[in-house]
Structure 1
Amino acid sequence: MDMFLLLALGTFLLAGTVKGTVGMGLPITAIGILSQFTDPRFAVTISVLPIVASNAWQVFRSGDVIAAIKRYWRFALCLAVVLLGTSLVATRVPTELIATALGFIIVLFALTSLAFTPPFLPEKYDRIGQIIGGTFSGIFGGLTAIWAPPMVIYFLARRLDKDEFVRASGVLFLAGSLPLLVGYFFNGLLDTETTKLSALLIIPSLLGFTFGELLRRKLNTERFRTVVLIVFLVMGLNLLRRSLF
């Protein structure tokens, strides 16, 4: 079996495990690792179907989805529209810029999650917060298939509890992953070969997700999350090093 295929299978098994354990992190883990060994644009492209499948599964498992949709529809709408538009022009963006954006987003996500608590966002400013968060998430997501950083900052600012965090993230991840799939199909990045590989990678992603759910019940999730974020930080800094120096 091709060495890259073995690497990709193992990477998505790990990425699915991270997502199943902490509720997010599949694209950051998978794209962050694979971008160390292959073209970042290719890493993003083959991640599209596992992202959609794992997000759909997370929504199915989270429960009380309708309430989350009613509350966060503005964020979801801005995310979906901007992400679709950005993804349609992703082929015009230089690979070096994508690598730089990936590194920046991963570092931003790791640092904000490790050390930064945004100011509290009152209910009266929630509408504008959703619009701003959804727009920035859509821009990042269309170029790199990673839109968690602005979303997590919004969640932290709203001080969501654990269950609400999981429900809301599941809905918004799915809201972004569907237009991402459409955009990458129409811009030609998801051709026959990349679609086959991306579809194959759904299997280790969902297996990892299931394993991660089991780990969540047994491990200290906060400690595991900290280790994962430190790894993200190192990967993001390495991408920035490669693209800028």
Structure 2
Amino acid sequence: MAGFMVVMATFLLAGLVKGVIGLGLPTVAVALLGLVMTPMEAAALLVVPSLVTNVWQLAAGTNLKRLMHRLWPMMAGICIGTMLGAALWSGSDARHATAALGVALILYALSGLLSIRLSFPAGSEPWLSPTVGAATGAVTAATGVFVMPAVPYLQALGFSREDLIQAMGLAFTTSTVALAAGFAYQGSLHSGTAGGSLLALLPALAGMHIGQWVRTVVRPETFRKCFFAGLLAIGMHLALKGLF
């Protein structure tokens, strides 16, 4: 019962974060659940809440067709990287996965706290998009976290705020579907896991609703800094836990 309450509270908080700043549900859920279970167990619970909330985010924009035309090489890279990563990481030591999750969270938190913005030479997108996609897929397969290096790369492409949010929704939806396929390949996506993931959808949606209200009374930038600071602390803990 205690474990069930931890999962429900985690997805409530993760949904709240996504409701305030438009991202962070998978990252927060995997980061917090990674403290009490393996990253892959946490990521398996994430499949339904992540898919539903990211499709919601994806459908809210108005330029999906144009974004899919531009970003399809990145989406293809995510799928290939995730499936290859799932095969590579299958049966690996859980401590290594925990350490990898910690490192991914640290890098993401630092990029947010330091407001790092990347830039790329003109003409590099045709080869860089599938490369970033494949790297994101590999990180997703290892840690269950979708954000690195996809989010910094998308931020560097110069999208408007609305298009950026929709592009992240597209990337996260693709990552979720590819991760679910990876779990199916490993044989770890069974009825018990699917049922737990479906139950986790309810607090995630409730958290998003609360977060949308919080956004009206708290500056998103202040909340974002607290979010990244918390991720940094959790990432350092997980990295040390996995290494020692």
Same structural fold, with TM-score higher than 0.5 when normalized by the shorter chain: yes
Query: In structure 2, how many angstroms separate the alpha carbons of the residues matched to 1:228 and 1:32?
Result: 12
TM-score, structure 2 normalization? 0.93
Query: In structure 2, how many angstroms separate the alpha carbons of the residues matched to 1:71 and 1:41?
Result: 31
Q: Is the aligned partner of 1:4 residue 2:10?
A: no
TM-score, structure 1 normalization? 0.93
Deviation string 1:150-183 (CA, Å, 9 cap, x unpaired) is 0122123223332121011011111111121122
Deviation string 1:180-201 (CA, Å, 9 cap, x unpaired) is 1122123111222111111110
Structure 2: stretches of 5+ with no match in the other structure: none
Query: Alpha-carbon deviation of 1:13?
Result: 0.8
SS state of the match for residue 119, structure 2?
coil
Structure 1: stretches of 5+ with no match in the other structure: none
Q: Is the aligned partner of 1:146 residue 2:145?
A: yes
SS state of the match for residue 72, structure 2?
helix
Q: Contact (CA 8 Å) 1:62, 1:170: kept in 2 or not? A: no
Q: Is the aligned partner of 1:93 residue 2:92?
A: yes
Structure-1 residue corresponding to 2:23? 24
SS state of the match for residue 148, structure 1?
coil
- Identify if the C-alpha distance between structure 1 residues 198 and 233 changes in structure 2 by more than 3 Å, giving closer, same or farther: same
Tell which deviates more after alignment, 206-215 or 171-180: 206-215
Q: Is the aligned partner of 1:108 residue 2:118?
A: no
Tell which deviates more after alignment, 101-110 or 152-161: 152-161
Q: Contact (CA 8 Å) 2:26, 2:146: kept in 1 or not? A: no
Percent identity over the alignment is 25
Query: In structure 1, how many angstroms separate the alpha carbons of the residues matched to 2:152 and 2:210?
Result: 27
- Identify if the C-alpha distance between structure 1 residues 54 and 119 changes in structure 2 by more than 3 Å, giving closer, same or farther: closer
Structure-1 residue corresponding to 2:224? 225
Q: How does 1:111-150 map to 2 (within 5 A)?
A: 111-150=110-149
Q: Contact (CA 8 Å) 1:102, 1:236: kept in 2 or not? A: yes
Query: Alpha-carbon deviation of 1:58?
Result: 1.3
Amino acid of the residue matched to residue 10 of structure 2? T
Query: In structure 2, how many angstroms separate the alpha carbons of the residues matched to 1:139 and 1:39?
Result: 17
Amino acid of the residue matched to residue 133 of structure 2? G
Query: Alpha-carbon deviation of 1:11?
Result: 0.5
Query: Alpha-carbon deviation of 1:51?
Result: 1.5
Query: In structure 2, how many angstroms separate the alpha carbons of the residues matched to 1:144 and 1:241?
Result: 15
> What is the aligned length?
244
Query: In structure 2, how many angstroms separate the alpha carbons of the residues matched to 1:206 and 1:121?
Result: 36
SS state of the match for residue 47, structure 1?
helix
